[in-house]
Amino acid sequence: MQVIVDDLLISYETRVGKTSKSILFLHGWGDSAKGQAKFLDSLSEFGNVIAPDLPGFGDSQIMNDDWMLLDYAKFVSDFVKKINLVNIDLIVGHSNGGSIAIKVISKELILPEKLVLIGSAGIRGNNKGKNSLLKVATKTGKIVSSPLPKNFKSKLRSKLYTTVGSDMLLSENLQETFKNIVAEDLRSEAVKIDIPTLLIYGEEDKSTPPKFGMIYHEAIAGSTLELVGSAGHFVQFDQPEVVGKLIKDFIS
């Protein structure tokens, strides 16, 4: 499905749920709603699912300006208003989608009943050196790989980003937006969240390690932290049954 939001053509996926609850899913950097299709199917067990392709990703139009997390948060608020989604029972955010969810709720743009953060990003303060290196890598990767064939460019850039510990590979036209996002630490925003929150992290996650979950767990009062074994950054795919049960118990 498609809709115009803030002068951008936005694509989104829906799933009819087994209950009347409304679930908003926000994907991570470089991902899309279609990329999370199997997970959206599983979420429909708990309610009606709405999952937009965030601007610049999937089949949604790219924005004209460089954005920050707050811009994405405002977009999400405008999106749910545009499709007349009045009451949201649950927001589920994966990776950078979790960062956006934290910003949305801390700014009171949307106030769901509950929140699930899966491998949520947004802890930056402990990685200032790494983030600086990431900015250098994105710039250097573009310069070094510019004379190379396209397939070699992609491999080289992937190598650079992996070396500095980021799964968030850059979309060619979103580099400045990416730099804005990785520069923002969300701990001061997380402490403002006062709704029931479930944190799910893979024990083998290298991109957003369990330590991030522990930090958010301390910041968000009353939150529940679950570390899932034999799972990486896409814990919902690595251990779908475990994640499904955790969400089911949390909603119940």
Task: Map out the domains of the chain as residue ranges.
Answer: 2-124+185-251, 127-176
Per CATH, is 2-124+185-251 categorized as 3.40.50.2300? no
Specify whether the CB–CB gap between 27 and 51 falls below 8 A. Answer: yes
What are the residue ranges of helices labelled H in the chain? 37-43, 69-82, 96-106, 128-145, 150-163, 175-182, 187-190, 210-219, 235-238, 240-251
In terms of DSSP bridges, do strands 114-118 and 197-202 run parallel, antiparallel, or are they unpaired?
Answer: parallel
The predicted structure's pLDDT at residue 87: 93
The predicted structure's pLDDT at residue 86: 86
The predicted structure's pLDDT at residue 155: 53
Residues of the chain short of pLDDT 50, as ranges, are 128-133, 135-146, 157-168
Query: 51 - beta bridge partners?
Result: 13
The predicted structure's pLDDT at residue 173: 83
**If you ran DSSP here, which 8-state letter would residue 204 be given?**
T
Closest CA to 103 of 77, 125, 65, 128: 77
The predicted structure's pLDDT at residue 252: 87
